[in-house]
Amino acid sequence: MKIGIIGLGFVGLSLTSVLSSKGYDVVGIDIDEGKCGKIAKGISPFYEPGLEKILKNGLKKKLKISNSFSLINNCDLIFVTVGTPQNLNGDIDLSIIKKAVSTIGTNLQNSKKSPIIFIKSTVVPGTMKKIILPILEKKSKKKAGKDFGLISNPEFLQESTAIKDTKFPHAVVLGGYSTKFMKKAKKFFEKLHPNVPIIITNHQTAEMIKYANNSFLATKISFINQLSNICQNIPGANIDDISKTIGLDPRIGKLFLNAGPGYGGSCLPKDMKALINFANISGIKPTLLNAVEEVNTNQLEQIILISKQRLGNLNSKRITVLGTAFKPNTDDIRDSIAIKLINKLLKRKAKIIIHDPRAIKNTKKIFGEKITYTKSIKNALSKSHCAIIMTQWKQYEKLNNKDFSYMSKKLVIDCRRMLLAKELDVDYFAIGLGKEKWNIL
């Protein structure tokens, strides 16, 4: 059995690497020739723990990397994992996936195989039936369900744990018609992930499951962030003890209850916007989803407010941002809250120094010479008026009085409560911590 994977981003490259390392005959396809060249040498174009090791393993076996779509002609299973970013108005941008399925369709015309095409990319409900299926049938001059299979197969992996999540997903969703292709797909996944629940449903439900998943996660984060704001006005209250305790209730669950500066990344903000737009178009007022977004946007304002309260005018103040990646163990800064924060601080003419163990290169692509970058935490803090911990990198747990002693004014805003247990000789503010604990110099 030959497997083709189209689009070598986080999802596609993780799947390519995991399947090929298991011995499957895989071809990973991406239109970006430069990217393909790197991947073929075992180099990942982005940082993802464990990815390069497993990719190299696959390359030693049967894995091929190519920018030629014609190779899908020999494939029995084709996974589409291209991006579905957002337009300026927040709508989902389907141009990349439309192009990809159009090319697949054209190639399918000459294929002797009856492949199953799995769509892993996130698409709003109705996209498979109204857009993807018609494009494929028109371009291939073949019939879905008869000449080829088409299945919605949403992905739930998280960046920074992409390999583990690809190997051990919590569920497999297969959306589509009940055909011989669906039976074959079920068999494939039963073998690949024994004991993992397989949910077979229709296209539109599968599409909606993905949005339900991400919007629920965003809701949990905004919920805990709103509570953490309330806690800040209860002297001595600590949001982490609250999260830990409510998380013990199996009806609530402990994950995604870490209060912070808001959710970022390439998925939750985009999917929330797309779902809100979709609900509005469907005539349903998304009151709750709007509130989740509003809480998320306002969370950042708090940080600005605290820095202004403590430092006065931010013009020419040196502010150190610790962490620009949208979460630890990634170099991804897409829709990172830290990037939004830097933009706001720059508008107020603050001087920004950033440190991040992995994301400096990507951050430079956005800000160029407008801000200062350093690989040394000590240099980042030197002569600074304010340090803001944005990303929960392990390195920041070690920060101590000596590190802060080089600052001009020792205001520390800890968005992740990493230094809570330390006796610090600084003006310390932590998100989700009642004011009594503030250590005002």
Closest residue by Cα to residue 330 from 37, 132, 8, 51: 51
Instruction: Report the residue number, 295 or 311, with the smaller CB distance to ligand UGA.
Output: 295
Task: Give the residue at shortest CB distance from ligand UGA.
Answer: 267
How far apart, in whole angstroms, are the C-alpha atoms of residue 425 and residue 438?
11
Asked if 240 is part of the footprint of ligand UGA (rule: CB under 6 A), the reply reads no
**If binding is defined by CB under 6 A, does position 156 make contact with ligand UGA?**
yes
Asked if residues 6 and 104 have their Cβ atoms less than 8 Å apart, the reply is yes
Is position 48 an interface residue for ligand UGA (rule: CB under 6 A)?
no
- Single out the residue of 158, 201, 372, 379 in contact with ligand UGA (rule: CB under 6 A): 158
x/- letters, 185..224, toward ligand UGA (CB under 6 A): -----------------------------x--x---x---
CA dist., res. 280 & res. 420, Å (int)? 42
438 is a site residue for ligand UGA (CB under 6 A): no
Q: Are 317 and 345 in contact (CB under 8 A)?
A: no
Q: Using CB under 6 A, which of 30, 48, 159, 240 touches ligand UGA?
A: 159
**Interatomic CA distance for residues 162 and 14, integer angstroms:** 6
Task: Give 313's Cβ-side CA count (13 Å radius).
Answer: 3
Least gap, CB of 105 to ligand UGA (angstroms):
25
Within 332-361, the residues that bind ligand UGA by CB under 6 A are: none
Q: Does 406 bind ligand UGA (CB under 6 A)?
A: no
* Terminal-residue alpha carbon distance, the chain: 67
Q: Is 128 a residue that touches ligand UGA (CB under 6 A)?
A: no
CB atoms < 10 A from the CB of 353, how many? 20
- Pure H helices in 142-286: 162-167, 180-192, 203-231, 239-247, 268-282
Using alpha carbons only, what angle is made at residue 125 by residues 122 and 127, rounded to the nearest 5 degrees? 75
In whole angstroms, how far apart are CA 219 and each of 161, 209, 222, 274? Answer: 21, 15, 5, 15
393 part of the interface to ligand UGA, by CB under 6 A: no
Query: Whose Cβ is closer to ligand UGA: residue 33's or residue 294's?
Result: 294
- Shortest reach from residue 415's CB to ligand UGA, in Å: 9
Q: Which of 36, 267, 386, 415 is catalytic?
A: 267
CB of 343 to ligand UGA, least distance (A): 16
The residue from 46, 189, 256, 406 that contacts ligand UGA (CB under 6 A) is 256
Measured CA distances, 397 to 138, 260, 300, 421, 429 (Å): 56, 15, 22, 10, 15
* Residue 399 interacting with ligand UGA (CB under 6 A): no
Distance CA 295, CA 66 (A): 43
Binding ligand UGA by CB under 6 A: which of 51, 163, 257, 333?
257
Could you tell me the smallest distance in angstroms from the CB atom of residue 177 to ligand UGA? 25
The 50-89 site mask, x for binding ligand UGA (CB under 6 A), equals ----------------------------------------
Q: How far is CA 238 from the centre of its chain?
A: 27
Tokens of 310: 């403590």
Q: Is 267 a catalytic residue?
A: yes
Decide: is 260 part of the binding site for ligand UGA (CB under 6 A).
Answer: yes
Q: How many residues bind ligand UGA (CB under 6 A)?
A: 21
Q: Which is nearer to ligand UGA, 30 or 137 (CB)?
A: 30
Question: If binding is defined by CB under 6 A, does position 148 make contact with ligand UGA?
Answer: no
On the CB side of 241, how many CA atoms lie within 13 Å of its CA?
7
Q: Based on the shown chain and the rule CB under 6 A, indicate whether residue 265 belongs to the binding site for ligand UGA.
A: yes
Other Cβ atoms closer than 10 A to 62: 14
Considering beta carbons, is residue 251 or 402 the nearer one to ligand UGA? 251
Measured from the CB atom, the residue of 30 and 159 that comes closer to ligand UGA is: 159
Report whether 411 contacts 426 (CB < 8 A): yes
**Residue 278 CB neighbours (<10 A):** 20
Stretch that binds ligand UGA, among 62-70, 132-140, 266-274, 308-316 (CB under 6 A): 266-274
Please report, as ranges, the residues that interact with ligand UGA according to CB under 6 A.
122, 155-159, 214, 217, 221, 256-258, 260, 263-268, 326-327
Active centre residues (catalytic): 267
